[in-house]
Structure 1
């Protein structure tokens, strides 16, 4: 062994490409270099701890396994040290001279496909030790293997320009120190608080203490919080779950409930998921990232992953820690990863099962859940076909038989309360609870004690397009034209045939409003209202049109059917009119009323008022 000779080596060709990219490009997520170096140090500490258990003859004198970080503002250096297993010369060449185990080909392939988005790739692919060159123009590694003597310490150095040097340099302690000589533009990482925040973000829960040496040359341990999720449920008290949630979410509110599972099998992972007690953002904000953080063996990788949780469960907070993914997994790779697909299905099923359980065993808690997150959860029928049956059972609604603005009627309860002649689940959509619950479309349902679900949330009109049936019973809107519905109430109330004068009135209305409506038909749904407008069965609903218009979308005009109530005194009065001007005025006024009921406004309010004034003047 020649302890004085410095040897020069060339990097592997693919490694050169990545180093060149790092040195000559700007990256938005430079801070991940520290995560990667701490992860490497943690691995080294794990290995030496394992050796201490399995090899009693090995002289391991490390008693306090830890990672230390030291900044030297004068020298512009950061030193990351561990007292782990260390490396010998051969291992240094294998680990620091090649990037073969870091997903190089996938990394470079993605760069070629994403030339305009290179700044977001570092930290997603995680290239381990080589991320040092994002912030440093010179890197030194001083290491000594646990199997070697102090004189066999190895000094590795490189500017990241294609080659590196190796020489022997005495090192008293076993372990590794990585010294980064920072570039001028990266001096921010010499700040104690900056480093502390990075450690707390990515490495808060690793097994070993991470200490920063402050300006007084004192060591401050940064990662003081335990990885609670790694413990067995029987070992954790309720207070600990709550405190962990508060620290994790930076909130003062207690969670509503939590789910903690250790899963072993084809995939090994841990879940610690929380349902908050309050909504923290606007329910329709679909751009809001979910609160799930992905860890791999207690090292934070990324958050806000739509690949781990469906969008309708985005209110869930917590941690997924998976052992079966590489530390340098990327967001792009996650989207097509079979393990993630299995995880997503399993996590979703687990959450739905817990919700289904508390909906039966703890209705008070479930009511709280629904008040806060029901609007978001209603996106489920459209998004998650595989769990459709469970989702439908968990939905809650207003209804006309329960005079309460709280949504607590389940579809199972609705089904139990259906009248013998009823073949459909009836619903009405509206701008708000008051207007929907007082709609004239509900008059006959109220009279005949038939319940109707009231859907007045913004998401409801969209959701009902995916509510085809529940346990074989189809959903039916009461605001759309349905001849079967008319026949049901005709038979139910033993209605008489329509008089000839009403039939003649219908023809007059058709002629006068031929450019405004699709058809005129009698209805048995109304008791106190003379007429209503209804879209035909296959037409877009008024509420859906409003939603499209609200977001700037153009919609084709809806041709309505005018349904008139043959029993109403105004309709009877109109059927006896003989003056053409008078009947025309009344028909136009009637039409304006139905438009106002259906849409909430009329196109020409002045003309509407003028017609009313003329009628009042008779």
Structure 2
């Protein structure tokens, strides 16, 4: 008997996603069965785990957890049934009627922008809403479920358009059944005969062979004397792939297993299969994806490594096994010597788990390093996807700083079309150069056009171009690479020890130049004291009149903004204004100051020079209206008005 029938509308984003899934996303419609089996497997995992930890479920029979596939040719239905954890009425509405995850809009935008079906399929799978793929092959879907530990069940039904119906149903067993009312087979639409036992076997073998729970189906068998009978077959091998020797596993098997655990339909970029024996035994099978998940930098993103104990699933997204900067790594770790009741809190403080984590990290980083040396093109693609996350490790993981520095790949002034490693940079350094120069900024164009670049470009010094927000942080925490100091060309004193034409400047010439500006520099420092801590001559400028630099250990303006955005109190950091002593504006200002230091126009010109330098580096003017007025007045004055 049913009661409380309620018809509800899908959330707007859900309707959009349904339309995309049904009409344009999946090129291979067989995927729907893999998604439903994966959901059923998750439900069995959860019941197995909760029966160990929740006293309210101790009476639940978990001795025969399994997934059943049922074909009804007369009714044209295919049912996927499990005896797992089940759902409540609220669970159904939250999980299926509403996409209860952040980043929905970003997901939809990425799907629309994706250039191929494989990328779109991967995004759908990563988002965890593969249930909707059922509507590719079904005119109607009926889901019946009862949560373990509750008395009544719920039925959910929809045609995948705008609404769904929910009602309470008594007498349901614990678990979930999803019944698909199938569309007719159609070769033009890619709809196979999903009422065919052989087709179902083929799909299960291809996509779900490694699911750890038995997948069963009643099938017709012919005996030796021609008699027929229906028997229940187990369709999957249930072999723990990670427990088999690597030599016995094919690349296709690795790829299929990766797709099962990641919901990513592209093959992984790298596979790490290892076994540790001794005082603490475990197997691990880890994968580096080919492309970053859409939510890699979302606050809600969780690591992708599952923990098993003696082949028993314990938890998803086990933070204790992988550092945050490797959160994109997917896989399984199967420990032999942990308790089945182990909690996340215990894992965080377990000495043996910390040891496992250290070895896993070194294995993953070592695999990336091998890829970098043996297949530069493949590594470049991986770095493009995950480099920004890997650089977080330079801030978080001091034990692996050297390896991470070797993995860093950055744009530079050496080649606009290729990135470079720090090792390659060092190999190209000029004779006598012992410093690795870099400049941070919002974009390559901003950095390349910065006044700070002028002398380095004129004298042929290579500069790394760092444009990720994390670059502002790690370069300050990593003092050197291979004995070569990292230095921002926008901080501290830079003395390239030669003039712009390549001739070495003598000490006498330097002293004479300083003497020429002995009166102007302190006057400018006093005049601009609210904006800068010092005005000095520059050796890094060739064409611009001025630039703004920080002291060697000052926080950069970008980093200052980042800290403030995170709610941290930051003192205002005054910076240094550097002047190009050869620029006509600067020499004219010096002459005017020598002629009449009290002229009020000089202070306005000084303010304009500072504001122009601030704009040139992409900074924000403190008073744009005042700057505009001063500039307009100066231009008018120059035209004789």
8 Å CA contact 1:67–1:210 kept in 2: the answer is: no
Structure 2, unmatched stretches of 5+, are 1-42, 54-62, 69-81, 85-146, 152-168, 180-207, 220-229
Q: Structure 2 vs 1, CA of residues 38 and 515 (structure 1 numbering), >3 Å: closer, same or farther? A: closer
Give the CA deviation at 1:204. 8.9
Query: Does structure 1 residue 244 correspond to structure 2 residue 257?
Result: yes
Structure 2 residue aligned with 1:262, among 275, 278, 293? Answer: 275
Query: Equivalent residue for 1:289?
Result: 302
Match of 1:584 in 2: 603
Out of 631, 634, 639, which is 1:612 matched to? 631
CA contact (8 A) 1:205 1:223 kept: yes
Partner of 2:201: none
Q: CA 1:451/1:492 → structure 2, altered by over 3 Å: closer, same or farther?
A: farther
Task: Give the CA deviation at 1:38.
Answer: 10
The answer (yes or no) to whether the contact 1:542–1:598 under 8 Å persists in 2 is no
Are 2:567 and 1:558 equivalent residues in the alignment? no
Cα deviation, 1:372-412, whole Å, max 9, x if unaligned, reads 000000011121111111111111111122223x5x21111
- Aligned equivalent of 2:30: none
Q: Structure 1 residues 224 and 511, CA, compared in 2 at 3 Å: closer, same or farther?
A: same
Residue in structure 1 matched with residue 240 of structure 2 by the alignment: 227
Query: CA-to-partner distance for each residue in 1:426-463, whole Å, 9 max, x for gaps?
Result: 11111122101221111111111111111111111011
Structure 1 contact 506–520 (Cα < 8 Å) conserved: yes
In the TM superposition, residue 208 of structure 1 has moved relative to its aligned partner by: 7.3
Summarize the alignment of residues 69-148 of structure 1 with structure 2, pairs less than 5 Å apart: 135=149
Give the conservation status (yes or no) of the 8 Å contact 1:502–1:572.
Answer: no
After superposition, residues 78-477 of structure 1 pair within 5 angstroms as 135=149, 189-193=174-178, 209=214, 219=232, 221=234, 225-285=238-298, 287-404=300-417, 406=418, 408-477=419-488
C-alpha contact 2:372 2:379 (8 A) present in aligned 1:
yes
Aligned mates of 1:537, 1:384 — CA distance in 2:
24
On the 8 A contact 2:282/2:334 being kept in 1, the answer is: yes
Measure how far apart 1:68 and its partner are.
Answer: 6.9
Residue in 2 aligned with 1:116?
none
Is 1:540 the equivalent of 2:559? no
Q: Distance in 2 between matches of 1:305 and 1:79?
A: 25
1:472/1:289 CA distance change after superposition, 3 Å = same
What RMSD in Å do the two structures reach over aligned CA positions?
3.7
- 1:218 positional shift: 7.9
Return the TM-score normalized by structure 1: 0.66
Unaligned runs of 5+ in 1: 1-28, 40-64, 71-77, 81-132, 138-183, 195-202
Contact 1:290 1:315 in 2 (8 A): yes
SS in 1 for 2:319: coil
What CA distance in whole angstroms lies between the structure 2 residues aligned with 1:186 and 1:568? Answer: 88
- Secondary structure of 1:378's match? helix
**What is the deviation of 1:79?**
9.3
Give the one of 564, 576, 587 matched to 1:572. 587
Structure 2: distance between partners of 1:79 and 1:208: 11
Secondary structure of residue in 2 paired with 1:386: helix
Which of the pair has more CA radius of gyration? 1
Q: State the partner residue of 1:486.
A: 495
- Say if 2:589 and 2:602, in contact at 8 Å, map to a contact too: yes
Q: Tell me, yes or no, if the aligned pair for 1:428 and 1:478 is still in contact at 8 Å.
A: yes
Q: Closer, same or farther in 2 for the Cα pair 1:261/1:79, shift >3 Å? A: closer
Return closer, same or farther for 1:379/1:510 CA change in 2, 3 Å cut-off: same
Check if 1:507 corresponds to 2:507.
no
* Structure 2 counterpart of 1:51: none
Match runs of 1:12-27 below 5 Å: none
For residue 47 of structure 1, what is the aligned residue in structure 2?
none
Q: Give per-residue Cα distances to partners, 1:21-52, cap 9 Å, x unaligned.
A: xxxxxxxx99844457799xxxxxxxxxxxxx
SS of match in other structure, 1:397: strand
SS in 1 for 2:273: strand
- In the TM superposition, residue 281 of structure 1 has moved relative to its aligned partner by 2.6
Query: Given that residues 292 and 328 in structure 2 are in contact (C-alpha distance below 8 angstroms), is that contact kept between their aligned partners in structure 1?
Result: yes
Q: Distance in 1 between matches of 2:542 and 2:175?
A: 78
| Paired residue secondary structure (2:420) | coil
